[in-house]
Amino acid sequence: MNIAVLVKLVPDSTAVVKIGDDRRYISTADLNFVLNPYDEYAVEEGLKIKEKEGGDVTVVSFGDDTAQKALRTALAMGAGAAVHIKSSGGSDMLGTAKSIASVLKDRGFDLIVAGKVAIDDDCGAIGPMVAELMDIPHVTAVHTLSLVDGKLTAERDIEGGVEVFESTLPALITAEKGLNDPRYATLKGIMMSKKKKIEVVEAESFESKTEVIKMSYPPSRPPGKIVGEGVEAVPELVKLLKEEAKVL
């Protein structure tokens, strides 16, 4: 099984994000960047399948040189090869997906795994876009996956239920929390990963079809009130919810 895993470096989820002077992007100074949490599930799933079925896992990341940190993390977890699609940025979702698809398309991957969403831009678009551009089927936000006889069965949550899909291979899936428990990189893994070479491919550039106008902080919620302490405050709370907020 020849598996590709798409990974992205993102500010860690506890980061205090500040908007940059251009008012269009965040200021990246002083931020701690990590492998996108959903991509950890994707890498783990790739490794699990490789360990069961044989084959190899190639991790792929698009972006400037910092993308290599995401690749190193995935290599340390156990991926066998890494491809950095080098770009100075500026592409929108579809432009990025086109660059990635153009690099992946002739490499004969049986399965491509991506995270459900990157926790920075919260789009969740690259996975399905890459699948479409490569003309392969996809299932997104998968929390349960099995591979039998060259087909995959994947389960995903929808509002109030679970959808079960079956797909032919090659295919692309995106990983939801719950798919697995990502392994930690071992010291040996980290040492080994440093010896692995990252293949660098210059990204083909594609026209962006959307543009960023500005970034701002969300309006803060008006200060609320402490109704009181303990059970004594409950009658007052219920009264406020009924008469002031009118939600009961």
Alpha carbon separation from 23 to 10, 18, 189 (Å, rounded): 19, 10, 40
Least separation in angstroms between residue 74's CB and another protein is 19
CB 156 within 8 A of CB 162: yes
Least separation in angstroms between residue 4's CB and another protein is 17
Least separation in angstroms between residue 170's CB and another protein is 10
Helices in 92-199 by DSSP H: which ranges? 93-104, 126-133, 187-195
Question: What whole-number distance in Å separates Cα of residue 97 and Cα of residue 85?
Answer: 11
Nearest to 113 by CA among 161, 196, 54, 170: 170
Question: 153: which DSSP letter?
Answer: E
Least separation in angstroms between residue 19's CB and another protein is 6
Please compute, for residue 197, the number of CA atoms within 13 A of its CA located in the half-sphere on the CB side: 3
Least separation in angstroms between residue 188's CB and another protein is 27
